[in-house]
Amino acid sequence: MRLKIVQTGEPVLREKAWRLTPPEIVSEEIQRLIRDMRETMRDAPGVGLAAPQVGLPLQLAVIEDREDLLKALPAEDLAERERRPVPFHVIINPVIAYYSDEKKNFYEGCLSLPGFSAVVPRARSIRVEYLDEHGQPQSVPASGWYARILQHEIDHLNGALYIDRMQSRTFTTLDNYTRLHKGKPIPQSPTDPPNET
C-alpha cells in the first residue's frame, strides 16, 4: 500500500524517533510497514524513506538506489558522486559509528520538501551500526552517494532535515537547479557569509 509522505512543517519530522525492540521489528505490523515504505519509496521515486516521513516517529528507514535510476545519469556525474546501485535494505535504530574527516558537497533534495534542492556538506565515508528487518545487528561501511543517503535518512530519524545542514545561499528550486547548476562544478567550500550581528 502506498503511504502518504508528510511534508516539512509536520511536527513528526522534527521529533527524535523511538527505538524499536527486536520483538517489535519482527511483528506483522512493522513488517507490513517495511513493505509499504518500500512501495512508497519506489513509487515516489526516491532512494531512501524514513518512517517519520510517513508520519510515524520510529527509528526505521528503507534504502535502495536502483540501477534503473542510475541509467538516466551521465557517467561522469555517477563517477564524481561515487554513486553505484545499492540493494534494498532496512536500517533500524541506526548509529553512525564512524565519520571520515573528508567532506563532499553535492546538491540534495528530499521527498518531504519537494521541488527544492541545496548543496549539503556530508562525510565522504561512514560506518553505520543498525538492526536489520529481522532484528539482527549489522554494520556497514559506506562511501560516496551511499554514505550521503544513509546520513540523510539517519538525520530524519533524529528530527533533522537537509535544510538544517545546507549551504543556505545554494537553496534553489529544482527548475532553477536544472537550468543554472546541473552539470556544473559544485563548490567544495562553504558559500555562506559569517553570521553578523
* Segment (H or E) for 31: helix 28-43
Q: Is the pLDDT of residue 196 over 80?
A: no
In a domain? residue 189: no
- Active-site positions read 153
pLDDT of 53-80, one tens digit each?
999 999 999 999 999 989 988 999 999 9
CATH number of the structural domain spanning residue 176: 3.90.45.10
Q: Locate 9 and state its grid cell.
A: 512543517
Q: State the pLDDT confidence band at 185, using cuts at 50, 70 and 90.
A: confident
pLDDT given at position 184: 84
For the purposes of burial, counting CB atoms within 10 Å of the CB of 124, is it exposed (0-12), middle (13-18) or buried (19 or more)? Answer: middle
Query: What is the rounded CA–CA span in Å between residue 157 and residue 58?
Result: 7
Containing structural domain, residue 122? 11-181
Q: What torsion do the CA atoms of 48, 54, 60, 66 make, to the nearest 10 degrees?
A: -20
In a domain? residue 105: yes
Q: State the pLDDT confidence band at 188, using cuts at 50, 70 and 90.
A: low
In a domain? residue 193: no
Question: Which residues are registered as beta bridge partners of 49?
Answer: 62
